[in-house]
Amino acid sequence: MRDGDRRGKTWFCGWLAGCFYVSLLCGCGIEDRAVGSGKPVRAGDAAAATAVAKPAPIRVDLRWPTPNSAFADGKDYADFVQPTVSGDPRSGLFGSVRSGGRQFHEGLDLFPVTRDRKGEAADPVGAALAGVVRYVSHSGGNSNYGRYIVLEHPLEKPAVYTLYAHLQEVSPGLLPGSLVAAGELLGTMGRSSSGSPIPKERAHLHFEIGLRATDNFAAWYADRGFGSPNPHGIWNGMNLLGVDPLALFTLHAKSGGLSRLTDFFADLPPALTLRIARSMEPDFVRRYPELVQPNSDSGVASPGGWEITFTSSGLPFRWQRLGAGEVLGWKPGEVRILKVDASLLAENRGRKIARQRAEKWVPHEDLESILGQLFLR
Ligand SMILES: [Zn+2]
């Protein structure tokens, strides 16, 4: 849909929102898709579905963001991942995949399957899920992401974001607040970046899926004195904590698919569990309440802190509120690490999550930074 002039109108938004809702209820996508690997839904399918006594389980309508069908065809990641100059396809995956494992890459780099006459990437880039445009950075020189778009997906639980970077062009009329259908055209793949130039032959989509750490990012960023301005507000990449997109697509592609994202988040590999004596409720928890587990301790009526489990890249994906009695005698804000999976941390050593000091695990700089964002420390 390129009809940007209609986007801002309330009736249109309302209609589209209604379509998303119906789409989720009947487990089908919106037919008018620009890219993606699924099949468009025919009008008769909905009627056929209602005739069946037991409806099929609702499946998350997750679309591959580029026209490359290699993943859907079950091919190896080398058939869709754009490597760095190293040429090693692993270097385009999510994780500590660069510089011999010392450098973390928080996304998935996808190469183009179409090029224009000048040899520039020409793949359309589509929304991986239905959602809302939260941020569009039109300037290629303001971020390592180059020209980029962030979508939020409020109909999912948790309401993940997706990010599309290094774009050559953003679809006209795509504005913060615009609703987009799964697979809807967002822009054209490219190689924009404020960092080292990306050569034509390595043009790609940098694609992220994750959660947003804090509403108070601007204050946190200013406090840290990074020495460079942040023109992106809360949509700065440092405020976005990623998961491995390929792991999510792989789970989704399995027979039966994925009926809700919470199942993916519940099964993330736990790399570290800690407790923090801080009773405040981070806005992260209010944004993603489905990541909070109940605590049967009656003392929770008087909150004292949190028990939090992180992935090896630092995503806090499991939370439990602690009663005051469970952190009795702790210093305010004190952090104690309860459990560490050292092999998971070692596999992701480009992220500095925890280190051993006097035979005790303590938070390392990236985890300190994440705790700082979550708890405004
Ligand atoms: Zn990338």
Check whether 4 has a pLDDT greater than 70: no
Check whether 84 has a pLDDT greater than 90: yes
**Residue of higher predicted confidence among 13 and 339:** 339
Q: What residues does each domain of the chain span?
A: 4-253, 268-375
Check whether 39 has a pLDDT greater than 50: no
Q: What is the pLDDT of residue 105?
A: 97
List pLDDT tens digits, range 321-338. 999 999 999 999 999 999
For residue 183, the CA-to-ligand 1 centroid distance in Å is 21
Check whether 51 has a pLDDT greater than 90: no
Q: DSSP states of 12-72 as a string?
A: HHHHHHHHHHHHHHHT---S--SS-SSPPPPHHHHHHHHHSSSPPPP------SSS--TTT
**Residue of higher predicted confidence among 303 and 25:** 303
For residue 105, the CA-to-ligand 1 centroid distance in Å is 6
Q: What is the pLDDT of residue 299?
A: 55
For residue 119, the CA-to-ligand 1 centroid distance in Å is 20
Q: What is the pLDDT of residue 56?
A: 62
By 3-state DSSP, what share of the chain in percent is helix, strand and coil, each rounded to 5?
30, 25, 45
Q: Which residues surround ligand 1, an ion (CB under 5 A)?
A: 107, 109, 206
Contact criterion met (CB below 8 Å) for 194 and 141:
yes
List pLDDT tens digits, range 140-193. 999 999 999 999 999 999 999 999 999 999 999 999 999 999 999 999 999 999
Q: Which residue(s) pair with 170 in the sheet?
A: 187
CA angle 110, 111, 116 (to 5 degrees): 140
For residue 290, the CA-to-ligand 1 centroid distance in Å is 29
Is residue 225 very low, low, confident or very high in pLDDT (cuts 50, 70, 90)? confident
Q: DSSP states of 107-136 as a string?
A: SEEE--S-B-TTS-B--EEE-SSSEEEEEE
pTM as predicted: 0.85
Average pLDDT of the chain to the nearest whole number: 87
Q: What is the mean pLDDT of residues 236-250?
A: 97
Q: Which DSSP letter does residue 273 get?
A: E
For residue 107, the CA-to-ligand 1 centroid distance in Å is 5
Q: What is the mean pLDDT of residues 260-288?
A: 96
Contact criterion met (CB below 8 Å) for 183 and 151:
no
Contact criterion met (CB below 8 Å) for 112 and 155:
no
**Residue of higher predicted confidence among 308 and 2:** 308
Least confident of 100-114, 163-177, 207-221, 295-309: 295-309
Q: What is the pLDDT of residue 228?
A: 87
For residue 207, the CA-to-ligand 1 centroid distance in Å is 7
Of the candidates 102, 107, 79, which has an alpha carbon nearest to the alpha carbon of residue 92? 107
Q: What is the mean pLDDT of residues 123-136?
A: 98
For residue 94, the CA-to-ligand 1 centroid distance in Å is 8
Q: What is the pLDDT of residue 298?
A: 57
SS3 assignment, position 313: coil
For residue 73, the CA-to-ligand 1 centroid distance in Å is 23
- What's the CATH number for 4-253? 2.70.70.10
Q: What is the pLDDT of residue 35?
A: 45
Q: What kind and span of H or E run contains 336?
A: strand 335-340
